[in-house]
A = this chain, B = another copy of it.
């Protein structure tokens, strides 16, 4: 099979690990570092495809677990595939659904065969295997699919991390075998929990399988930022330089900058979209909450000199605050446009400064400023899971996936 995607590194930070590149897919190309807005149910919440383009999106993410339950992967296939279904002509990545399964489905249980679970919609008992996950994602027809992996709770023991690592590696091999579509790339996922050597071991299991790209999963589980960085660095350094690296479910602007410094290329996170719907807005001067009284008569746009459709459109902080308080859907859409644009602009600036050979000093400066001091979002912004008292894995917060 010819490669469904091609990745070319176009520039790298001299003396560092940051790089920028271009990924070509059957539905067009996107530059890296790239941020993928999250469109769980075949829509990035509140936005249509034109909105996405105007917010600067080039690739988006959808969720195989959700779409396989509703409207059904075969149904999407019969309707011409996910691109046509949602009217988005650019690249799409689907995640496998393992993570969502644990965060949403009651009583999910892992065996070597796969994950046995109950649909969070109708309670129907189902089995998700690596093969079935590939089949679902091929029916959906995204440009990039993800292998099924076993998510790990936090905290966890070394033994638990080793077991999940082994299973994830075995599932990666089975997923590779199950693959049929020549026009869809399948990425492997590095696990290994909170142990740097296990991160290296997980990568070492996957690299011989020669995936066209690799994700790092299970970060931001609850460990500190410094530990996250060390785990990502261990994984990234053990992956081939010439393949794209995707850090799943990450993160704040500062998280992205720190991860690009460690060699990451692709990101997804509900943070910009979910925050927007709660009135939390990103600017280069820091985060602001539209609820605050100080904005009640503020005729300025959200971000000074921001080029997003909401700010360019002349919508003031006062109007957005009014819409938020009146619970008007337009407010959520305008604020989502702003936050998604901000994340795209952030990725674009990283590409620029990498090309200009001055990523490191730029990153230092940014991390010392308001973006570096940005409070972590409400839990649920990252990919963190935690255990319930009964030992079941739980997402930290926020009912309802993005």
Q: Which residues of B contact A71 (CB under 8 A)?
A: 296, 318, 321-322, 325
Whole-angstrom CA separation of A161 from B328 in the bound complex: 37
| A48→B297 contact, CB < 8 A | no
| A330→B43 contact, CB < 8 A | yes
Q: Given A86-B319, A87-B315, A313-B87: A328 and B78 within 8 A (CB)?
A: no
Copies in the complex: 2
Q: Which residues of B contact A316 (CB under 8 A)?
A: 79, 85
| B48→A319 contact, CB < 8 A | no
| A75→B330 contact, CB < 8 A | no
Whole-angstrom CA separation of A84 from B50 in the bound complex: 24
Whole-angstrom CA separation of A378 from B399 in the bound complex: 32
Whole-angstrom CA separation of A115 from B80 in the bound complex: 58
Q: Which residues of B contact A86 (CB under 8 A)?
A: 319
| A299→B79 contact, CB < 8 A | yes
A70 at the binding interface (Cβ < 8 Å): yes
Within 8 A of B (CB), among A296-336: 296-297, 299, 313-316, 318-319, 321-323, 325-326, 328-334
Whole-angstrom CA separation of A160 from B68 in the bound complex: 60
Whole-angstrom CA separation of A49 from B70 in the bound complex: 32
Q: Which residues of B contact A79 (CB under 8 A)?
A: 297, 299, 316, 318-319
Q: A140 to chain B: closest CB distance in Å?
A: 13
A270 at the binding interface (Cβ < 8 Å): no
Q: Which residues of B contact A50 (CB under 8 A)?
A: 313
Q: A49 to chain B: closest CB distance in Å?
A: 8
Whole-angstrom CA separation of A331 from B385 in the bound complex: 30
Contact among B47, B84, B313, B326 with A41 in the assembled complex (CB-CB below 8 Å): B326
Q: A54 to chain B: closest CB distance in Å?
A: 10
| B326→A48 contact, CB < 8 A | no
A46 at the binding interface (Cβ < 8 Å): yes
A42 at the binding interface (Cβ < 8 Å): yes
Q: A99 to chain B: closest CB distance in Å?
A: 19
Q: A108 to chain B: closest CB distance in Å?
A: 21
A45 at the binding interface (Cβ < 8 Å): yes
Minimum CB distance partner of A51 in chain B: B330
Whole-angstrom CA separation of A332 from B70 in the bound complex: 18
Minimum CB distance partner of A47 in chain B: B330
Q: Which residues of B contact A321 (CB under 8 A)?
A: 71
| A329→B45 contact, CB < 8 A | yes
Q: A51 to chain B: closest CB distance in Å?
A: 9
Within 8 A of B (CB), among A21-76: 41-43, 45-50, 70-71, 75
8 new A-B contacts, CB < 8 A, other than A79-B319, A329-B333, are: A42-B319, A43-B328, A47-B330, A71-B296, A75-B297, A79-B297, A79-B318, A85-B322
Using a CB–CB cutoff of 8 Å, the interface residues on chain A facing chain B are 41-43, 45-50, 70-71, 75, 78-80, 84-87, 296-297, 299, 313-316, 318-319, 321-323, 325-326, 328-334
